Structure 1
Amino acid sequence: MKDWTVICRVDDIPVLGSRRVARPLGTDVAVFRNDQDQVFALLDRCPHKGGPLSQGIVFGTSVACPLHNWTIGLDDGCAKAPDEGCTQKFSCKVEAGRVLMDPVELATLATDTATAG
């Protein structure tokens, strides 16, 4: 059974937007909200050139990287064809209007990447 940490309220994430979650090690995590109030969490780094996905445009269950318009799936972190590559996905869920994430994943996954800056 996982322990979960409250990150924010769903309403704190703009519809079709994101919110960044800072981490002590590694690149921040971007938490996205689509127009169906689904919430997803990815490393805030495009697999192409490292662009900040949190600044991208959310549509459906994808985000367009702001640097080169690569489409990244919010559900799996992978680029859509013909592009290739994936960014780290993080577990998240919504309960009673709050966004929760796994603190172990936040502390350990993809901590070897350079911090966003």
Structure 2
Amino acid sequence: TSTKKKRVLRPRKALITLTSNAVDHLQALLNQPQPKLIRIGVRNRGCSGLTYNLEYVDQPGKFDELIEQDGVKVLIDSKALFSIVGSEMDWLDDKLSSRFIFKNPNSKGTCGCGESFMV
């Protein structure tokens, strides 16, 4: 008789979670006559090395991950997965600016202005 080890699956950490403010703003951005998708990625830029990048795309990339939360679909660029896994995306609207912000547990530090981060 052979004894097979049972593989225990651990719960996967969410790639990214969206706050209700982020969901509302993404819905507004995606509600267009010609529907598009929004891809979240990172670019090599800034003092600390990486910045978040959001762009409209017509089709998912070959290795993009699709996340859906509260009726909103967002793509995660495959090259950004390890940099942003577990992050929370929020929409900040204050007197000075309106922008998406990310609370990233993988970030080891940010530059002084907060535009870029390192993992």
- TM-score with structure 2 length normalisation? 0.31
Largest Rg, 1 or 2 = 2
Between Structure 1 and Structure 2, the one with more strand by share is 2
Greater fraction of residues in helix? 2
**TM-score (norm. length: structure 1):** 0.31
